[in-house]
Amino acid sequence: MTTKLLEARDLCAFYGSTQALFGVAFGIDAGGITTLLGANGAGKTTTLRALSGMLRTSGDVHFDGHSIAGRATEDIVRLGIAHVPEGRGTFVRLTVEENLHLGATTRRDRAGIAADIERVFVYFPRLKERRDQQAGTLSGGEQQMLAIARALMLRPRLMLLDEPSFGLAPLLVQELFAILRRLNQDEGVSLLLVEQNASLALDLADSAYLLETGRVVMAGPAPEIRKDEGIRRAYLGY
């Protein structure tokens, strides 16, 4: 049994009085890539939002020895969980560089922040060319890069990625996923990936959870999930 970086038990989440998650349990290996699969409305985004403290929840979430269930988003971020939200959450009126600085809001080491900005530019050279542009003028792909770069500025232990491939051209998606793999290997960032594109996600991930209407219905190592007959039909489409 490997150590879990994050462990959720009996996690329920609510939008107002509507319950969206029903006792979800899962774990994320330290240094690993975990993916949440499922159809539209299965509760993938909800799970990420629950982990970040953006919803009313009940149940247990432990991250790196801390109980984070019910804590404020701002405090969860400070423990090293970076959330790249659905729709990227770009500050469109601010420049690329200001967006990156915001990613380092919780840090106080000026020199380290400046060095890290140059470091993320190595991963995302196109952002460097556009560092003084308003982020809203970037293309969708560039904004997704910016969202990931901004999350990296936190120096996170765990990154939550909500459909990073959404709306991107296939070539860009491949580039993006190659970068995610490098981030995982070189920077040691654990990833929790939510994807509609199950095939892509299973290629990248070590382990996978399948959500259906707010419940985990299947879990296992990614290669095994890929082989499963039902998954193949329903989510991989062959």
Partner 1 sequence: MELFLHQFLAGLATGGIYALMALAIVMIYQAIDSLNFAQGEMAMFSTFIAWQLLQWQLPFWAAFFLTIAIAFVGGFVIERVVFKPLRHAHQLAHIVVFIALFAIINSMAGFLWDFSIKSFPSPFGSHPLFGQRLISAHDAGMIGVTLIILALLYGFFRYTRVGLSMRAAAANPESARLVGVRVGRMVALGWGMAAAIGSVAGMMIAPVVFLEPNMMNSILLYGFAGAVVGGLTSPGGAVIGGFAVGVIENLAGTFVPYVGRELKLSIALVLIVAVLTVKPSGLFGERIVNRV
| Amino acid (one-letter) located at 85 | P
Q: Pick the closer one to partner 1 by CB: 83 or 226.
A: 83
Q: Considering only 102-110, 187-195, 202-210, 213-221, which stretch makes contact with partner 1 by CB under 8 A?
A: 102-110
x/- binding map, residues 148-167, to partner 1, per CB under 8 A?
Answer: --x---x-------------
Q: Considering only 100-108, 116-124, 211-219, 228-236, which stretch makes contact with partner 1 by CB under 8 A?
A: 100-108
Q: What pairs with residue 128 in β-bridges?
A: none
Structure tokens at 9: 């038990």
Q: What pairs with residue 11 in β-bridges?
A: 24
Contact between 73 and partner 1 per CB under 8 A:
yes
CB 63 within 8 Å of CB 220: no
x/- binding map, residues 171-200, to partner 1, per CB under 8 A?
Answer: ------------------------------
- Residues in the site for partner 1, rule: CB under 8 A? 52, 54, 73-74, 77-78, 82-83, 85, 89-94, 98, 101-103, 105-106, 150, 154
